[in-house]
Amino acid sequence: MRPDPAVAAAVDKPVVEARDVEREYRVGGEVVRALRGVSLGVAAGEFLAVTGPSGSGKSTLLHLLGGIDVPTAGRVWLGGTDLARLSTTQRDRRRLLEVGLVFQRFHLLSMLSARENVELPMAEAGVRPADRRAASEALLRRVGLAERSRHRPGELSGGERQRVAIARALANGPRLLLADEPTGELDRGTSEGILDLFAGLNAQGVTIIVATHDLHLAARARRRIELVDGRLAS
């Protein structure tokens, strides 16, 4: 299936594009339709917020766009590549190099320092130790944690942990940063700091898609779409 010219025309050089994607899950004996016929294109340098109530399919859409999951119907292209044509291993590799992910619960490895957590994707990508160290220090400086690089997650505040997670997401210089409820576990003040960080990264050219039910966060994005019951409301 080729990209819809209409959708492609609506955005300039899409980093990621979805066409009529659907996703169904079987839960017990029931079929749950998490996404129904969603089409979307995100250009390079965009800051997109995906909003909607809980269970509207925000996380599912992010997973499909990032190649974490495959749609039941429809197609997703990442950097012009149809993700459905890739094997699991190939999709893993694309994600490692081209997509950065930030989670609500941070998911840092507790026995590693901040720097070592940031180095993890680089090590997987085959970057040499010396280069990894320099790059991770630079990333931590970028997110404002230069002095905390040796600290373990247990020694960091919630906001600091999320900054480490953001630095980790940027480890391999991805073309796309996906964040699923990045401020869900943080207080208002800390959330503001994270939002400022996202804004700053976007200003530096990082393409960001954030799934959130926080309208204040959504307002900081340059574009916003809303999902209701698995469909695009706007």
Partner 1 sequence: MRLRYVVRELWHHRLRTGLALVGVSVATAMLLDMLMLSGGLETSFRRLLSSRGYAIRIAPVGTIPFESEALIPSYPTLRDTLLDVPGVVGVAPLLGANVELRAGADSARAFALGIDPAEQGVYRLLAGDPPAEGRVVVDEGLARDAGLAIGTRIELELAGSLGVARRVNVRVAGVAEFVYSARGERVVALPLPVLQRLAGRGDRIAFAMVRISDTADPEAVGAAIRARAPRVETFTVSGLVERARARLSYFRQLSIILGSVATAVTALLVGTIMAVSINDRYGTIAAMRALGISRRTVVASFTGESLVLSAAGAGLGVGLGVLTAGYLEGVLAGFPGLPAGIRFFVLDGPAVGRAIAIVLGVGAVAGLVPAWRVANLEISRTLHREEP
Q: Binding of partner 1 at residue 13 (CB under 8 A)?
A: no
Running DSSP on this structure, what letter comes out for residue 11?
Answer: S
DSSP assignments along 112-131, one per residue: S-HHHHHHHHHHHHT--HHH
Q: Please state the φ and ψ torsions of residue 149, each to the nearest 5 degrees.
A: -65, -25
For residue 5, the minimal CB distance to partner 1 (Å) is: 30
Rule CB under 8 A: choose which of 24, 124, 137, 226 binds partner 1.
124
Sole binder of partner 1 in the list 36, 46, 56, 59 (CB under 8 A): 59
Residue pair 230/56 in contact (Cβ under 8 Å)? The answer is: yes
Subset of 62-101 contacting partner 1 (CB under 8 A): 63, 66, 68-69, 88-89, 92-97, 99-101
Q: Check residue 53 for interaction with partner 1 (CB under 8 A).
A: no
Coil, strand or helix at 112: coil
Could you give the C-alpha distances from 106 to 10, 128, 147, in angstroms and in order? 34, 25, 20
Q: Which is nearer to partner 1, 133 or 223 (CB)?
A: 133
Question: Binding pattern to partner 1, positions 17-46, x when CB under 8 A?
Answer: --------x---------------------
List 73, 123, 146, 203, residue binding partner 1 (CB under 8 A) = 123
Integer Cα distance of 100 and 176 in angstroms: 6
As given in the structure block, the two tokens for residue 37 are 């016929």
Q: In angstroms, give the least distance from the CB of 8 to partner 1.
A: 26
Tokens 């210089």 sit at which residue?
173
| DSSP per-residue string spanning 168-191 | HHTTT--SEEEEESTTTTS-HHHH
Which of positions 130-159 make contact with partner 1 (CB under 8 A)? none
Contact window for partner 1 (CB under 8 A) among 6-14, 39-47, 106-114, 196-204: 106-114
For residue 44, the Cα-to-chain-centroid distance in whole angstroms is 14
For the chain, count helices (H), then strands (E): 8, 10
What is the Cα–Cα distance from 45 to 63, expressed in whole angstroms?
20
- Segment contacting partner 1 (CB under 8 A): 44-52, 76-84, 113-121, 193-201? 113-121
| Among the listed residues 9, 73, 111, 203, the single contact to partner 1 using CB under 8 A | 111
Positions that interact with partner 1 (CB under 8 A): 25, 59-60, 63, 66, 68-69, 88-89, 92-97, 99-101, 103-105, 107-112, 116, 120-121, 123-124, 129, 168-169, 172, 180-181, 184
